[in-house]
Amino acid sequence: MNFSPFREAGMKRALRDAGLAALVAAGLFVPLVGLRTEAVGHGVALSWHPWPVAGLVVAVFLGRLVWLMLPRRPAPRLPSAALARAGRFVAPVLLVVALAWPALPGVGRYQLDLGVLVLTYVMLGWGLNIVVGLAGLLDLGYVAFYAVGAYSFAILAQFLGLGFWVCLPISGLVAACFGVALGFPVLRLRGDYLAIVTLAFGEIIRIVLLNWTSLTGGPNGIGGIPRPTLFGLAFTPAGGPGSFADFFGIAPSITQRFVFLYYVILGLALLTNAVTLRIRRLPLGRAWEALREDEIACRALGIDTTVTRLTAFAMGAGFGGLAGCFFATRQGFISPDSFTFSESAIVLAIVVLGGLGSQLGVALAALVMIGGFELARDLAEYRMVVFGLALVVIMVVRPRGLVGTRTPSVTLGARRAIGAGFVAQGRG
């Protein structure tokens, strides 16, 4: 075989690259795989397993070498036209499935609960989508409004004895006020600074909830939160006068309450979606998107960017508060542990994964992330590995999110999707 100078240089470079990868792998796998603690007597002892580490390092070296030496093939292009045509069916199909979910065969308590969980995150995603996706404001503390909604309902129920339906709009309004309260100090902040301050806001709310024991019960939380009723009909498990089962003359069962909860969250999520879609076609929605694209141009066109930002924060927070109120009534008990930063991170991941402020994208992303995570329970300790791998693959294949296009809100002629390359990511 005749090695030309280029091929030799390529071979040397591939070997060096693979060697470096193997070194990194060694550094990672020695503590992760090579060292294991075993219980010995009353304490633990450290045991050293060299062979799995060696095997992994060799596998990484060879794998990287093979990957680099393979001839470069052009990246496979997804058939975008066919995908776009199929895409138009996805939303209606999802809606029908969501509406009929409790009635589908094989859907029991567990699946209903999963449905409620997914829909809660879909609603949170749609709420945060207003702030991050449409207005381009990087909010890392969204869980604060979720918590405010939940706790305002719990506190009102505890001290004033109000029911779910009365407290629902109040929670939303209180959360919206907190959204405005967050918006004011961060008016001049952009990008990373905005992200850090919103993250701090989320943590502040959690710590206040943890420490203001007289109002919130501190780490013990608030329990005994009333369940929602259907026009005054309670869903008591035992049935009895004034209950749902009694009114309709059917046998009472626990499932009825779950089905009712499912439809409540479905209704709330669809409300969020309807309001967002409507506002997107109004001047306010266009102002949000213009703010994301170029804030200086917005100001030069006479748009009050302060008001625009504050309304984005307020609306997003309001929907988060509604979701929080639902969360409180579903669990019956809330504590600050449910409102940590990782919740904010998950909702933000859903919005970013959805892509470009698209409502359908956020719904799909919530389905994939939350639904997929739950369904992968069978994989036990490999669940996180598979999950992380899936996220990496999605980000490599679709870096701007699952839905890679933006649809204009108003057109003169045919409505054609705008590719991700033109749409700004928003710098807050």
Partner 1 sequence: MRFGGLQAMQGVSFVSEAGRITAVIGPNGAGKTTLFNCITGFYRPSEGAITLRHPGGREYRLDRMAGHRITARAGVARTFQNIRLFGGMTALENLLVAQHNALHRAGGGPLGALLGLSRFRAAEAAAIARARDWLVRINLLDRADAPAGSLPYGAQRRLEIARAMCTQPVLLCLDEPAAGLNPRESDELGVLLQSIRAEGCSILLIEHDMRVVMRLSDHVVVLDHGRRIAEGPPELVRADPHVVAAYLGEPDVEEVLA
Among 176, 290, 310, 315, the residue binding partner 1 under the rule CB under 8 A is: 290
Residue 26 or residue 177: which is nearer to partner 1 going by CB?
177
CB of 315 to partner 1, least distance (A): 11
> Of 214 and 411, which has the nearer Cβ to partner 1?
411
Q: Is 85 in the site for partner 1 (CB under 8 A)?
A: no
DSSP element (H, E) containing 43 = strand 43-48
Q: CB of residue 289 vs partner 1: minimum separation in angstroms?
A: 6
- SS3 percent helix, strand, coil of the chain, rounded to 5, is 70, 5, 25
User: CB of residue 398 vs partner 1: minimum separation in angstroms?
Assistant: 17
Gyration radius (Cα) of the chain, Å = 26
Cβ-count burial 42-55 (b if 16+ within 10 Å, e if not):
eeeeeeeeeeebee
Q: Please say whether the dihedral angle defined by the alpha carbons of residues 233, 127, 102 and 383, taken in this order, is positive or negative.
A: negative
CB of 173 to partner 1, least distance (A): 16
Sign of CA dihedral 91, 96, 102, 105: negative
Asked if 274 is part of the footprint of partner 1 (rule: CB under 8 A), the reply reads no
Q: For residue 188, state whether it binds partner 1 (rule: CB under 8 A).
A: no
Regarding 415 and contact with partner 1 (CB under 8 A), the answer is yes
| Per CB under 8 A, 64 contacts partner 1 | no
Q: Is 352 in the site for partner 1 (CB under 8 A)?
A: no
Is 298 a binder of partner 1 (CB under 8 A)? yes
The two structure tokens encoding residue 22? 């193997």
Which residue has 């969360």 as its token pair?
327
Cβ distance 167 to 153 under 8 Å?
yes
CA distance 327 to 338: 10
Q: State yes or no: residue 103 binds partner 1 (CB under 8 A).
A: no
Question: For residues 302-331, which are near partner 1 according to CB under 8 A?
Answer: 302-305
Interaction of residue 282 with partner 1, rule CB under 8 A:
yes
Out of 296, 342, 377, 378, the residue judged to bind partner 1 by CB under 8 A:
296
Binding status of residue 418 toward partner 1 by CB under 8 A: yes
Does residue 100 bind partner 1 (CB under 8 A)?
A: no
Segment contacting partner 1 (CB under 8 A): 21-29, 45-53, 281-289, 328-336?
Answer: 281-289
Closest to 324 (Cα-Cα) out of 139, 161, 164: 164
Is residue 96 at the binding interface for partner 1, with CB under 8 A as the rule? no
Distance CA 163, CA 226 (A): 7
Select from 358, 241, 219, 192 the least CA-distant residue to 289: 358
d(Cα 90, Cα 122) in Å, to the nearest integer? 16
Work out whether 173 is an interface residue with partner 1 (CB under 8 A): no
DSSP track, 113-135: HHHHHHHHHHHHHHHHIIIIIIS
- Whose tokens are 């504590």? That residue is 335
- The window from 92-100, 110-118, 340-348, 402-410 that contacts partner 1 (CB under 8 A) reads 402-410
Regarding 411 and contact with partner 1 (CB under 8 A), the answer is yes
Interaction between residue 416 and partner 1 (CB under 8 A): yes
Burial tier of 409 (Cβ tally within 10 Å: 0-12, 13-18, 19+):
middle
Interaction of residue 124 with partner 1, rule CB under 8 A:
no
Residues that bind partner 1 (CB under 8 A): 278-279, 282-284, 286-287, 289-290, 293-294, 296-305, 406, 408-416, 418-419, 421-424
